[in-house]
Amino acid sequence: MEENSQIVITISRQLGSGGAYIGQQLAKKLNISYLDHEIIRLAAKKLSVLEDELEAHDERILSFWESFFQSKGYIGPDIYIPPHILVPTDRELFEAEAEIIKRIANDRSAVIIGRCGSYILRACPNHTSIFLHADIEFRKRRIEKLYNVLQEVSNKRIAESDSERSRYHYKLTGKEWTDARQYGLSIDTSKTGVDNGVQLILQYLELV
């Protein structure tokens, strides 16, 4: 990476692999923006919906019944829901977030977490894509410690997150989320640890 050049780092991650922590540390060390939930806030504003409505659907596709009620505008023969309060479709949310991510990448250096950022910015100059993964036991321990939950809860959260992110990514990009060929660098944080993961990425940036 050339000194003083603009850079955008996208991080795709498995739940519990340290994505948020590593992204925040990279942003701090490089003195650039860190964007995660800020993208949801901007997308909610763009789509004229409440932020909480998008939060529950972020990086997951709508279920069959959610999509059905959304497209029909009702939940029963006698109960009508005005279309303007319905959550946007998967495609509408993806396109809104993609527009925001592209604008950010054009305006300033940043670390962007998730939301198919690596795919959205695949043709962007000075873009570095990272995929973080880890073995299941490492991920469970991190989640249990970070969120103070029991093992059965961490198991459920990991299974649901992996399934939802995989389906969301494939539906909207046609790519397998965990295929390392999509990314510039893939790191197993259960082997390196999260702090060494930060250092590996910084070293990699010096080479590209």
In a domain, 172, yes or no: yes
- Cβ-in-10-Å burial (0-12, 13-18, 19+) of 136 comes to middle
The DSSP line for 41-76 is HHHHHHHTS-HHHHHTTTTSPPPHHHHHHHHHTEEE
* Within a domain: 51: no
Q: How far apart are alpha carbons 64 and 10 in whole angstroms? A: 30
- Residue 72 pLDDT level (bands cut at 50, 70, 90): very low
pTM for the model stands at 0.83
Classify residue 190: in a domain, yes or no: yes
Dihedral sign computed on CA atoms, order 6, 11, 17, 20: positive
* The pLDDT of residue 63 is above 90: no
Q: Quick check: is 199 in a domain? A: yes
- pLDDT range class, residue 43, cuts 50, 70, 90: confident
Would 168 be classed as within a structural domain? yes
* For residue 197, pLDDT beyond 60: yes
Instruction: Give the closest residue to 92 by CA, choosing from 37, 46, 39, 52.
Output: 46
Domain that holds residue 25: 8-46+90-207
The DSSP result for 6-43, as a single string, is --EEEEEE-TTS-HHHHHHHHHHHHT-EEESHHHHHHH
Q: Which domain CATH number covers 145?
A: 3.40.50.300
Is there a domain that residue 141 lies in? yes
| 75: in domain | no
Average pLDDT over residues 92-118: 93
> How many domains, the chain?
1
58 occurs within a structural domain = no
